[in-house]
């Protein structure tokens, strides 16, 4: 468990919106401080040039490019969403991958997992990897290049899964942790799963709740702790509620979480949960922005390993995030779609977003449906290649467990309460349905007998 009494989150504030909890910086990292630290860590002489510029930002981080002596590095400055543990886990994971696998990841040059430094935030100085995000290149890639990229992703996944399962099997669920010299004396390896660093355990006030935080010895312990987090959060929401509607909403989520707890034994039988089970490293945010590719579409790097954990092997039944989404079997015909609207054209031409994509004169619906169709085809490519490399992947039982995990993750969102209860009803009646299937079932609105062209909340669509 985490004792927040000694962990400062100075520099961070959370904004509670209708649908999300959003982190904000209460002060900006200093460019001059980043330059000073970079010069020290990279041993750049005072008389030599060193240029620091803003590069990109993520949910919890700001990235700065450091150019010096014909070289470039990235400084990743992070908000204290989970003081010490998030930075320590990311560094350990990157170094473990670099030492033990062929997965292309940035090399860690230096780091500080405390705020006791010139910058005043935790930071990681890492190698700048070549290539552009697959998100930026996607529309320029041929279907053959996309298929080759997906096959390579399946090979990377197989290496992670097989390495963890057969050779250096992790036995617990958690974020990779580097042990001290004293600890290593009693350990088979210097790196093992430790305290879990995952969004669902630290967003908002969740990091302060008194619940087990790993390493977890079983799927049951892990998901039970997560549901306890949900219940504690909703109890707090009930106490702060200003009207009956909000109080009723919190009570409904609590009841749903307890209902999920009640079906645990049917999905995770106690006999199977006693013995330690192998766990594998699972990147749960493999969207197209976190996959870098070259001009040919070959993968040059996988990035953003900050909240990656070891998970039970059954979690591998899930598709990588960029292959998730609504199915579409019929290829969209370009000429059947309207042209780009003036507002869409203005956004693509004058937008400040460097990742703004060229719609080539066609409306956004065409590109959304195009992506749905391509992802549907590419899922089969991924399944075929991964099954060739790992014939046991996946069993039907594993798919049920993976779906249960997705339901648990969505449990705290009151918007999904009815859907989750519908999923539980189906499960209890023996008519099992996947979470993605259920989403697809309810996200097919009909307007005057035709399919709606409005965007749907889907990760694969949002990425393109």
Question: Using an 8 Å Cβ cutoff, are 150 and 382 in contact?
Answer: yes
Neighbours of 140 (CB within 10 A): 12
3-class SS of residue 408: helix
| DSSP string computed for 81-105 | SSTTHHHHHHHHHHHHHHHH-----
CA distance 344 to 362: 9
Alpha carbon separation from 433 to 340, 430, 436, 443 (Å, rounded) = 37, 9, 8, 15
CA distance 343 to 348: 9
Q: What is the 3-state secondary structure (H, E, C) of 112-130?
A: ECCCCCCCCCEEEEEECCC
| Residues facing residue 342 across a β-bridge | none
Per-residue confidence (pLDDT) for residue 464, from 0 to 100: 34
List per-residue pLDDT tens for the chain, 464 residues long.
444 434 689 999 999 887 788 999 999 999 999 999 999 999 999 999 999 999 999 889 999 999 999 999 999 999 999 999 999 999 999 999 999 899 999 999 999 999 999 999 999 999 999 999 999 999 999 999 999 999 999 999 999 887 554 555 688 999 999 876 555 455 556 889 999 999 999 999 999 999 999 999 989 899 999 999 999 999 999 999 889 988 999 999 999 999 999 998 888 876 555 556 788 999 999 999 999 999 999 999 999 999 999 999 889 888 999 999 888 999 999 889 888 887 767 666 555 556 677 777 788 889 999 999 999 999 999 999 999 988 878 765 567 888 899 899 999 888 889 999 999 998 888 877 777 777 767 665 433 333 333 333 333 333 33
Alpha carbon separation from 419 to 327, 425, 437 (Å, rounded) = 19, 10, 11
pLDDT, tens only, 71-89: 999 999 999 999 999 999 9
Q: Which of 131, 133, 124, 127 is nearest to 72 (CA)?
A: 127
Per-residue confidence (pLDDT) for residue 402, from 0 to 100: 86
Per-residue confidence (pLDDT) for residue 432, from 0 to 100: 76
Per-residue confidence (pLDDT) for residue 186, from 0 to 100: 55
Per-residue confidence (pLDDT) for residue 188, from 0 to 100: 52
Instruction: Give phi and psi for 448, each to the nearest 5.
Output: 55, 40
CA distance 45 to 34: 15
Per-residue confidence (pLDDT) for residue 393, from 0 to 100: 81
Per-residue confidence (pLDDT) for residue 189, from 0 to 100: 60
3-class SS of residue 194: strand
CA distance 26 to 218: 38
Per-residue confidence (pLDDT) for residue 385, from 0 to 100: 95
Per-residue confidence (pLDDT) for residue 436, from 0 to 100: 72
Which DSSP symbol is given to 21?
Answer: E
């Amino acid at each position: 468990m985490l004792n927040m009494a000694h962990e400062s989150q100075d520099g961070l504030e959370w904004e509670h919106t209708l649908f999300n909890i959003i982190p904000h910086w209460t002060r900006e990292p200093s460019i001059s401080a980043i330059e000073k630290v970079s010069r020290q860590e990279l041993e750049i002489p005072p008389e030599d040039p060193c240029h620091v510029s803003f590069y990109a930002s993520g949910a919890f981080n700001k990235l700065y490019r450091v150019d010096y002596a014909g070289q470039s590095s990235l400084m990743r400055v992070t908000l204290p969403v989970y003081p010490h543990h998030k930075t320590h886990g990311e560094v350990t994971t990157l170094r473990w991958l670099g030492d033990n696998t062929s997965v292309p990841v940035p090399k860690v040059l230096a780091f500080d997992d405390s705020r006791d430094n010139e910058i005043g935030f935790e930071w990681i100085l890492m190698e700048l990897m070549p290539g552009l995000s697959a998100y930026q290149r996607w529309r320029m890639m041929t279907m053959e290049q996309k298929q080759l990229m997906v096959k390579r992703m399946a090979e990377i996944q197989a290496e992670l899964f097989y390495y963890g399962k057969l050779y250096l099997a992790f036995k617990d669920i958690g974020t990779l942790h580097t042990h001290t010299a004293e600890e290593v004396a009693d350990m088979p390896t210097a790196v093992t799963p430790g305290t879990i660093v995952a969004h669902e355990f630290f967003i908002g006030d969740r990091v302060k709740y008194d619940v087990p935080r790993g390493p977890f010895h079983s799927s049951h312990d892990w998901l039970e702790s997560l549901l306890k987090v949900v219940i504690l959060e909703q109890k707090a929401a009930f106490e702060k509620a200003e009207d009956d509607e909000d109080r009723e909403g919190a009570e409904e989520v609590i009841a749903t979480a307890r209902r999920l707890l009640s079906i645990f034994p049917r999905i995770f039988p106690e006999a199977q949960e006693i013995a330690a089970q192998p766990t594998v490293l699972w990147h749960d945010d493999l969207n197209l922005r976190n996959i870098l590719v070259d001009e040919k579409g070959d993968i040059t790097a996988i990035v953003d390993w900050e909240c990656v954990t070891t998970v039970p092997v059954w979690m591998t039944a899930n598709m990588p995030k960029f292959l998730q989404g609504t199915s579409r079997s019929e290829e969209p015909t370009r000429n059947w779609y309207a042209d780009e609207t003036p507002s869409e054209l203005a956004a693509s031409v004058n937008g400040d977003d460097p990742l703004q994509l060229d719609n080539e004169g066609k409306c956004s619906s065409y590109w959304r449906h195009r992506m749905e169709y391509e992802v549907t085809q590419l899922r089969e490519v991924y399944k075929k290649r991964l099954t060739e490399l790992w014939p046991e992947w996946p069993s039907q039982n594993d798919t049920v467990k993976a779906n249960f995990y997705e339901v648990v993750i969505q449990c705290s969102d009151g918007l999904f309460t009815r859907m989750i209860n519908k999923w539980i009803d189906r499960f209890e009646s023996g008519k099992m349905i996947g979470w993605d299937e259920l989403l697809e079932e309810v996200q097919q609105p009909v307007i005057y007998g035709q399919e709606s062209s409005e965007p749907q909340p889907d990760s694969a669509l949002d990425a393109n």
